[in-house]
Structure 1
Amino acid sequence: MATTDPPDSPGSTNHSEIAHSSVTTDKSVDLDAIRDRLDHVHDPELDRSIVELQYVEAIEIDDGAVTVAFVLPTAWCSPAFAWMMATGIRDEVEVVSGVTSVTVRLSDHMHGDEITTGVNQRRSFDSVFEDAEDGIMAVQQKLDEKARFARQHSAIKALQQGGLDPDQIAPLTRADIELDFSSDLAAVTVQDGALTVTVARDPLAEYLNKARETGLVADESDRLFADREGEPLASDPESFESIVRDARLAAANIEGQGAICESLHESRNGVHFD
């Protein structure tokens, strides 16, 4: 089956989610383009866009020079996580047409000055936080693996709702999935091409993005699903259900942490979530 890789973007940006941000612009750069790129930047612990989470506090544009200020739910959020978001903002915004420079500012954080200065000077995390136990890449890898495993729960649930059983789900490879971005469906081929079913596209597309980022799925022949350690998903019912339960727990933990952060963000920074 021909396959189509999911786009990097999580979808169209809901600009109302950053409506509380202050904006100063001279029209030298497309503001919507900046907002769309910011939607690519995720809180690595919550696996959600900083746009959705309403972290963007201000966007200033002055003759191609862009400044983005962001704020987190607490002043003591992990400096490693804050660093990842700050560098993500810088890297995403600087590819927008017309942008000549990007300045990132982390507001109201106990390490805000160090992170703001370090990221804008393009220093490494280790050079700014010399006492950090783990390097930024190691932390990023752990969080990406956690997010990949949590997203797996929604992807498998979509396949099960489409009528597939463990024997059909476990051996699936990238080549068995075709994502249709003109609709909200994905086509899944099983039983050596003898059967094709359609399922909800978004859970699979979101999972494939993260599976690709972690290196689990790089080629058409790579198995789609794995346990926490990256071992291929087993098809026997007991092992399959055990991994599905584990993935469900991972997803629930991230969702629960997200709810806590939303509450803290509302109390501290005056944002509102539906």
Structure 2
Amino acid sequence: MTQVQTRPAPQAGLPGRDDIRRALGAVQDPELDEPITDLGFVRSIDVAPAARGAAVSVHLRLPTSFCSPNFAYLMASDSKDAIAVLPGVDTVTVELDDHHDSGLINAGLAADAGYRGTFGHEAEESLEELRWTFRRKAHTAAMERCLTELLRADRGLAESDVGQVRLADLPAGRTKDALLRRREALGLPLDSAAAVLVDHLGNSYPADAVPMALRRARSTRISIDGNAHFCRGLLRTRYEGSGADQTARPEGAEPGESHTLLPITVKENA
């Protein structure tokens, strides 16, 4: 684990290293649906005195050098934005280490060029569209966790009947809370009478389509959980000691359940 000395802030009330790390806890890996702090992607944090507050420098690392540039840029850009809004922060520098596009991404972040300004003609799709794609997947996985938990608790409930399950039928707890957060992020109804098994637009499924919808949701959840486990292992292999920076998830816990979803709009400058 890379240790970076935190220099004292020039005056009381300025953010420290712990404040920066808490802010970064709201930044999610879009594919894994977990905070970058829990995954161990934050390599170092440095806080130093600056002219009008604190100068913050953060280095990020990823499990491989060929992780998707879209995801890499999104996490780095979100990190910069999450820190910049903290009271007392003067300047923010976020750099991505050891990635095949590190130079390009770091230059774009330093210039506040935005996604399209950074990648130019290679930026074929909107990152905001990509963000919504993964928000939908996160909702699907959270929905499946709730329904599977209910099926295990009530052996008399058949898979074909879960289309009739309402939010009011779900037991209170971390799994339901996580689903409600994902529904809110998509603008889906949160009232107790709302159906649980819905698509990303909030539409319920016909009775004969319910089992297949649940199986597809289960496949999505398994994929997300499996990728997260795989990436954690790759990071530990790539960076000795990085496992100490990873936060183990409690048995049955939702990814990032103690963190809020960051409401950031990606800069799309031409």
Q: TM-score range by the shorter chain?
A: 0.7 to 0.9
Which residue of 146, 153, 157 corresponds with 2:148? 157
Q: C-alpha displacement at 1:158, in angstroms?
A: 3.6
Task: Tell me what 2:223 maps to.
Answer: 253
Q: C-alpha displacement at 1:56, in angstroms?
A: 0.4
Q: Which has the higher contact order (CA 8 A, sep 6+)?
A: 2
Task: Tell me what 1:266 maps to.
Answer: 236
In structure 2, the gaps of 5 or more residues are 249-270
- The secondary structure found in structure 2 opposite 1:22 is coil
User: 1-side partners of 2:162 and 2:226: how far apart?
Assistant: 31
Amino acid at match of 1:153: E
- Does 1:25 pair with 2:16? no
Task: Tell me what 2:21 maps to.
Answer: 35
Q: C-alpha displacement at 1:92, in angstroms?
A: 1.4
RMSD over equivalenced CA pairs, Å: 2.7
Return closer, same or farther for 1:128/1:245 CA change in 2, 3 Å cut-off.
same
Amino acid at match of 1:172: R
Farther off after superposition, 153-162 or 257-266:
153-162
Task: Tell me what 2:132 maps to.
Answer: 141
Q: C-alpha displacement at 1:77, in angstroms?
A: 0.8
Task: Tell me what 2:251 maps to.
Answer: none
User: 2-side partners of 1:224 and 1:102: how far apart?
Assistant: 43
Over 6 Å off, 4+ runs: none
Amino acid at match of 1:22: V
User: 2-side partners of 1:260 and 1:171: how far apart?
Assistant: 33
Q: Deviations over 1:65-107 (max 9, x none)?
A: 1111100011111111011101211121122232122111111
- The secondary structure found in structure 2 opposite 1:67 is strand
- Does 1:69 pair with 2:59? yes
Return closer, same or farther for 1:25/1:202 CA change in 2, 3 Å cut-off.
farther
Q: C-alpha displacement at 1:132, in angstroms?
A: 2.5
Amino acid at match of 1:24: T
Report how many residues are paired: 232
Return closer, same or farther for 1:249/1:168 CA change in 2, 3 Å cut-off.
closer
Contact 2:188–2:202 under 8 Å retained in 1 = no
Task: Tell me what 1:114 maps to.
Answer: 104
- Does 1:89 pair with 2:89? no
Q: By percentage of residues, which structure has more helix?
A: 2
User: 2-side partners of 1:139 and 1:224: how far apart?
Assistant: 26
Q: C-alpha displacement at 1:255, in angstroms?
A: 1.4
In structure 1, the gaps of 5 or more residues are 1-18, 174-187, 191-196
- Does 1:208 pair with 2:180? yes
User: 2-side partners of 1:216 and 1:222: how far apart?
Assistant: 12
TM-score (norm 1): 0.74
Amino acid at match of 2:210: F
Task: Tell me what 1:233 maps to.
Answer: 204
Return closer, same or farther for 1:241/1:105 CA change in 2, 3 Å cut-off.
same
- The secondary structure found in structure 2 opposite 1:40 is coil
Contact 1:170–1:233 under 8 Å retained in 2 = no
TM-score (norm 2): 0.75
Amino acid at match of 1:37: A
Farther off after superposition, 118-127 or 245-254:
118-127
Return closer, same or farther for 1:98/1:231 CA change in 2, 3 Å cut-off.
closer
